[in-house]
Amino acid sequence: MDKLSQLRAMIAVVADTGDINAIRQFTPLDATTNPSLLLKAAQQTEYASLIDQAIAFASAQGGSSDEQKALCCDHLAASIGREILQIVPGRISTEVDARLSFDTAATLERARRLMDLYAQMGVAPERVLIKVASTWEGIKAAEVLEREGVHCNLTLLFSFAQARACADAGVTLISPFVGRILDWYLQNTDATAYAPEEDPGVQSVRRIYQYYKEHGYDTTVMGASFRNTGQIEALAGCDSLTISPDLLAQLADDSGELPRALTPVSASKTDAAMSESEFRFAHNDDAMAHEKLGEGIRKFVVDQIALERQLEARAKSAETA
């Protein structure tokens, strides 16, 4: 049995892509998208009709140019999500505009709109996870959304403080970024490589997983942003892992044995909820997490703007055709 099959026998395997063909090839349980992946997907011919539909929908709603661009992007994200849900049996994660990461009210508004768009497309709410950056404001928005029955995936998670606050908020799922944590340590220390067991990204997810199980939290831990299959294998047994197509292919081509690395334990501890000041101090005290959260938001914003410009250019081209 190949390692991908062995991994699927242990945990939920999620495809970290918006590429329909890759999803068909690897048949994951769920799929995740983000602005970077949507930007890549929008350049594929398979999505041309969805882009045109999104442009027409946004134009028909009226409003300012900025409002139409934002609505067009949301409609496209939901449309691609709907297409992916025709293939995967589980859920799709769709991300709120990263520019709203520090605005709870605006995050709530956009999340509700995404869910409304999905509803208009006939997608049941239980098949959608709304992705929100793990800022304090994003976590508070997710707490409200969860009470409203909207399930959330808290992304760009790098610190233990973020993980604790997400569990306190009762979010459905978190996505700790394994590879980006490794990137920071390789860039900011004397280390040139890490064995999987010593990888700081792997160790971060293991600590979070253990804490959640010991304290009886229901929040799913889904490792994300992998750089190599060694990181994935070191987290075999985690609740879920979202994996890029190239790494899925490597696992599928490897017939070696894949032992379970993480095993759940019975809840035996309790802990008080973090206050906002405790969260902000603890997160800020982690230089890696503080830097990578800001960097991640900035990168997603760059790709969000690039996507808007691409859609705007296509709309103008259609007008002059």
Instruction: Point out the residues that are catalytic.
Output: 131
Compute CA distances 249 → 3, 13, 232, 243, 244, whole Å: 10, 13, 13, 10, 9
In 3D space, the residue among 177, 169, 267, 269 whose CA is nearest the CA of residue 221 turns out to be: 177
Q: How far apart are the first and last CA of the chain?
A: 53
Q: What is the largest CA-CA distance in the chain?
A: 66
In 3D space, the residue among 130, 134, 93 whose CA is nearest the CA of residue 108 turns out to be: 130
Three-state DSSP at 210 gives: helix
Query: What does the DSSP assignment read for 290-316?
Result: HHHHHHHHHHHHHHHHHHHHHHHHHHH
Which residues, including other chains, have CB under 8 Å from residue 48's CB and lie 6 or more apart? Answer: none
Question: Is the four-CA dihedral 70, 41, 88, 50 of positive or negative sign?
Answer: positive
Q: What amino acid is encoded at 125 in this protein?
A: P
Question: Is the four-CA dihedral 305, 309, 315, 318 of positive or negative sign?
Answer: negative
Three-state DSSP at 241 gives: strand
8 Å CB contact between 75 and 117? yes
Two tokens, residue 269: 């501890």
